[in-house]
Amino acid sequence: MPYLLEPLQIGSLTLSNRLVMPPMATSKAEPDGKVSKAILEYYNEKTAGGYLSLVIIEHSFVQQAGKASENQLSIADDSVVEGLKELAAIIQRNGAKAVVQINHAGSAADTAVTGVAPVGPSAVKNPRKGGIPHALTREEIGEIVADFGAAARRVKEAGFDGVEIHSAHGYFLNQFFSPLTNKRTDEYGGDVLGRIRIHLQVIDAVRSAVGQDFPIFIRLGAADYAEGGTTAADSQIAAKAFAEAGVNVIDISGGFSGYIVPGNNEPGYFAPLSAAVKEVVAIPVILTGGITEVQAAEQLLAAGKADLIGVGRAVFQDSLWAQKAVNALK
């Protein structure tokens, strides 16, 4: 059997194959962040036929101050749950499993969108967005951690199959992980274990909210590709700690480089990072980035670079991509 068509068991979650639709912002939510008809239609079209085993819903903000953009999905209060139930049901009815990615934009947020000043680990310029945030107090950190936990509870209440914590692409948790933006001298700064203290607290809050059997993913911006930024070695330390804390899947992407590797557009350009993480954890690892051909996906799995393959732009551009890919391998 082709590697891509092999099923995978992740705790209570059974995936029919190794093909994942990664989170991609659609900007199709209602202005208040609720699920819109356009979002329901979009995910229905992408998942029709059940050729994708797993869909990770675009990043959804856990509190108003963490909203990244206009028409972003919200997971910030209980009023959004009813609409999300409909979204989960459509994807599952089509034969895919559905996970929601929960996020806080931190210093990447814009006051024009949120109505409040951006926050972050330290009062230093955001390398991607340029804003200088308010440096959070311990008490304020605790409030955001609690909001991640509450968001995860809503994901489960809406009937999804798992939740993904977003720590990539220069957003809030990634800002704590990266030495480029985390200059703290308290227990939330310093070495890698200090910089991921907040991640471990978020994982604990999420696990407390969803129980032991609900799958928790974390998307890790595993390298900044910038001098003084995070490296694969940092991510090995972090990934090991996340697995020990009870995370079920690690989803690899870029840090302050975003979802690209500067100067590299080879299929699976994050493969050196996913392979490095796979060396130190026994849990499944997702690799996304520049994979547009089914044979590239198959080769990356065969080479042991990852356990699951995310195909983003190709699926975004062609809703039949997954169907063609699966049929090509049969």
Residues serving a catalytic function are 171
Are 54 and 96 spatial neighbours (Cβ–Cβ below 8 Å)? yes
Tally the residues of the chain: 330
Are 206 and 148 spatial neighbours (Cβ–Cβ below 8 Å)? yes
Tokens of 121: 């680990």
CA pair distance 37, 314, nearest whole angstrom:
23
Are 164 and 99 spatial neighbours (Cβ–Cβ below 8 Å)? yes
Residue 162's H or E segment, with its range, is strand 162-167
Residue 329's H or E segment, with its range, is helix 321-329
Are 298 and 319 spatial neighbours (Cβ–Cβ below 8 Å)? no
Using CB atoms within 10 Å of the CB of residue 263, give its burial: 0 to 12 exposed, 13 to 18 middle, 19+ buried. exposed
As a whole number of Å, the end-to-end CA separation of the chain is: 8
Nearest to 161, CA basis, from 103, 100, 211: 100
Are 136 and 54 spatial neighbours (Cβ–Cβ below 8 Å)? no
Backbone angles phi, psi at 263, to 5 degrees: 80, 10
Q: Which residues pair with 250 in a beta bridge?
A: 218, 285
